Structure 1
């Protein structure tokens, strides 16, 4: 498995997430369906922040180490995660990120997303160039290599599609919500001139 191949799998998925931002107005992006549910904006925030602060950070640790923990392996849960090439279809706790932040706008998320994709591309190139053998422990999946941590990014984006699609039913229309204008902005035209 190469990071470049994983990046090629991630790219169409990332483009889908980016394109979907065009269908949310401000209210839709920030709407909570229940008190405990996340907003669409929070899902995006979680994907970008968690991937950088957990996945990319672990990859950087693998790249910096010489050959420590390379004999350690995956846990039972980790074995199945990679056997099925994805997260199992149930909720996971995302400590230490109990509740993601609410981005200010879809435009801000798009900017962050483009920066994230550049970072992911650069990281893939670095993994394939250096071919690190070190492993870093994942709290649930055991010891993972840089390539495996990188694969988790794509799996994570795919995993949250279910959550997004479920929330979309409640939040989104087929057209982007636009800001409503006051009727005072409409010029008064006498009826007989129409």
Structure 2
């Protein structure tokens, strides 16, 4: 995937999440199929936190050349994801952390602003990455050492992966 294709896909996906917020009532946004699964609101919160505090934070670290190193390799799992530009089409549980709380959904209108900011920040970092040599990397807990462009691609892959979950919830809610 070229940087131009990545930016275009990232922008389209993030805008789709923003636009979808108008399709849900507050009740639909908070509804859960069962206790083991997330509501749309929880999924939105998870994506916001992952996008901001994980993916984009690591793009910034790579560009600032801090909390990482020059060089480093991806793991086999990372190489597989990036080679296919996709997570496997299976449900993935987020890594367990001691006493990790479930995401707490906020009002739908808040996500419009948060996701618009993520979109703006992601596109700005993508522009900065055009000047980056890609040698400085930070470590992903499962995929190994990633440079800034790979972190941004990971954000796009992760957001695209959750489109399946969004579709499942919309189908369950009877939203066409």
For normalisation by structure 2, the TM-score amounts to: 0.89
Q: CA deviation at 1:118?
A: 1.2
Q: Does 1:99 align with 2:102?
A: yes
1:170 — aligned with what?
A: 172
Q: CA deviation at 1:172?
A: 4.1
Distance 1:101 1:4, change over 3 A: farther
Q: Which runs of structure 2 are paired with 1:148-167 in the superposition (5 Å)? A: 148-167=150-169
For structure 2, the 5+ residue unaligned runs are: none
Q: CA deviation at 1:106?
A: 1.5
Deviation readout 1:95-142 (Å, 9 max, x if unpaired): 356521211x22111111111111111111111133342011111111
Q: Which runs of structure 2 are paired with 1:12-161 in the superposition (5 Å)? A: 12-65=12-65, 68-70=69-71, 72-95=72-95, 96=97, 99-103=102-106, 105-161=107-163
Structure 1 segments of 4+ aligned residues over 6 angstroms from their partners: none
Partner secondary structure for residue 130 of structure 1: coil
For structure 1, the 5+ residue unaligned runs are: 175-194
Q: Comparing 58-67 with 12-21, which one deviates more in the overlay?
A: 58-67
Cα distance in 1 for partners of 2:11, 2:124 equals 13
Q: CA deviation at 1:77?
A: 0.4
Q: CA deviation at 1:83?
A: 0.9
Alpha-carbon RMSD across the aligned residues, in angstroms, is: 1.9
8 Å CA contact 1:59, 1:146 repeated in 2: yes
Partner secondary structure for residue 146 of structure 2: strand
Q: CA deviation at 1:4?
A: 4.4
For normalisation by structure 1, the TM-score amounts to: 0.81
Partner secondary structure for residue 160 of structure 1: helix
